[in-house]
C-alpha cells in the first residue's frame, strides 16, 4: 500500500508519512500542502541517491586500487548504468527500480553486481515509498 502524509489532529504540526493513519492523525488532502511535502521528500530521496552513488564510486575506486577492475572497466560500467545513476540521484528510486530490472549483464556489471544494486534499490523503495 502506498504511503500518505498525515497531520496530527491536535494542530501541533507533527507530520508522518505512513501506510495507514497513525492514531490521532488525519490524512493531508490539501494539494498545495501535499506538493510542498512531496518536493521535500524528493529532495531527501535525491540526497540519499547522491550518497548512494558516492558509496558505489568509492567501492569502485577501491577495486581499481586492489587491481580487481581497470579504470576503463569502471568508466564503462558507470556509463552503462548512467540511466540508473541519473534516476537515483534525481530521487526517482522507483523509476530506477524498473530500469535496472531491464538491464542485461555487461563487462563488470555481473549478476552479483546487478543483484546487489537491485537489492539496495528495492530496500530503499520498500522503506521510503
Q: Distances in Å between the alpha carbon of 85 and those of 34, 45, 82?
A: 27, 13, 5
Is residue 91's pLDDT more than 90?
yes
Q: What is the pLDDT of residues 22-61, one digit of tens each?
A: 999 999 999 999 999 999 999 999 999 999 999 999 999 9
Ranges of each domain in the chain: 4-128
Q: Model's pTM, two decimal places?
A: 0.90
> 4: part of which helix (H) or strand (E)?
strand 4-8
Predicted local distance difference test score (pLDDT) of residue 13: 79
Predicted local distance difference test score (pLDDT) of residue 72: 98
Distance CA(58)–CA(60), nearest Å, equals 5
**CB under 8 Å to 99, separation ≥6 — which residues?**
83, 84, 87
Predicted local distance difference test score (pLDDT) of residue 90: 98
Amino acid at each position: 500500500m502506498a504511503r500518505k502524509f498525515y497531520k496530527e489532529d491536535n494542530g501541533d504540526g507533527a507530520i508522518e508519512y505512513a501506510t495507514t493513519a497513525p492514531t490521532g492523525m488525519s490524512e493531508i488532502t490539501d494539494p498545495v500542502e501535499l506538493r510542498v511535502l512531496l518536493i521535500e521528500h524528493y529532495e531527501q530521496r535525491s540526497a540519499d541517491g547522491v550518497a548512494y552513488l558516492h558509496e558505489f564510486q568509492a567501492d569502485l575506486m577501491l577495486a581499481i586500487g586492489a587491481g580487481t577492475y581497470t579504470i576503463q572497466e569502471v568508466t564503462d560500467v558507470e556509463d552503462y548504468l548512467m540511466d540508473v545513476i541519473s534516476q537515483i540521484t534525481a530521487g526517482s528510486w522507483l523509476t530506477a527500480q524498473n530500469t535496472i530490472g531491464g538491464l542485461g549483464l555487461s563487462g563488470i556489471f555481473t549478476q552479483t553486481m546487478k543483484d546487489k544494486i537491485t537489492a539496495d534499490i528495492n530496500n530503499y523503495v520498500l522503506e521510503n515509498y
